[in-house]
Amino acid sequence: MKKLAKYLSPEIYNSIFTGEKEVNLETQRKKITVFFSDIKGFTEITDSMEAEALATLLNSYLKEMAEIAARFGGTLDKFIGDAIMIFFGDPKSRGEQQDAIACVMMAIEMREHLKFLREKWVNQGISDPLHIRIGINTGYCTVENFGSENRLDYTIVGGQVNLASLLESSAGTDQILISHETYALVKDAINCESLSEIAVKGIAHPVKTYYSMFKFSAITGLRKVNFYGFVL
């Protein structure tokens, strides 16, 4: 059981082994906040590093990001190479607003922690710095055990998941792009700056976007932290 747990999100693992979730084909609709991130320019990095050093670097990065996700209560869906997919709202939810706030705060914390990791890696002789881009969206998704009776994958699917992924692809270096739906839930807790609408492939209408500026101490109980890492 301990070995199998390493292949599942702790939230999914616990819900299965406590009997809260049935292990069969099933679907349900829930309002979920979805997070995607990847390493900007990762293909170029792979061309400049030996495979062993690259594996060490990537595993170190994914480990640190997974630990941050766990602290904020996110369900780590999967690693896709250097990309990470996390969602909030299932199997446990603290309410739509708190799920969205936790997700954006997690993203900010990841961005902050990456600065520390870059310094650590430079001291280890790794000269190419890692920078990330992040997309976050909130909306109704299909939560399901997907696959066959013999092999299941617990995940979320739908247009709102795709939008989060597309926002991540549209984000700039070290930028957290959030949709208007997420902004509406977090605006009282996290200062966000409005950006221009962007055209997203596969979506007929322009998408309004925002990026997170800093955490608001009166709501979160934390210091105000600028998105780019400066304590205000």
Give the tens place of pLDDT for each residue, 100-129. Answer: 999 999 999 999 999 888 888 877 777 777
Query: According to the model, what pLDDT value does residue 25 have?
Result: 58
Residue of higher predicted confidence among 140 and 227: 140
**Rg for the chain, CA atoms, rounded:** 18
56-92 pLDDT tens trace? 889 999 999 999 999 999 999 999 989 999 999 988 8
> What is the C-alpha separation between 232 and 38, in angstroms, rounded?
27
Mean pLDDT across the stretch 178-192?
90
pLDDT at 225: 31
Q: What is the pLDDT of residue 26?
A: 67
With residue 170 as reference, give the H or E element that holds it.
Answer: helix 159-170
Residue 123: predicted pLDDT: 79
Which domains does the chain possess?
29-220 (3.30.70.1230)
What is the arithmetic mean of pLDDT over 39-48?
Answer: 83
Question: What's phi and psi for 23, nearest 5 deg?
Answer: -95, 75
Q: pTM for this one?
A: 0.81
**Tokens (6 digits) for 62:** 């994914």
Supply φ then ψ for residue 151, to 5 degrees. Answer: -150, 110
Query: How long is the chain?
Result: 232
Give the pLDDT band (50/70/90) at residue 95.
very high
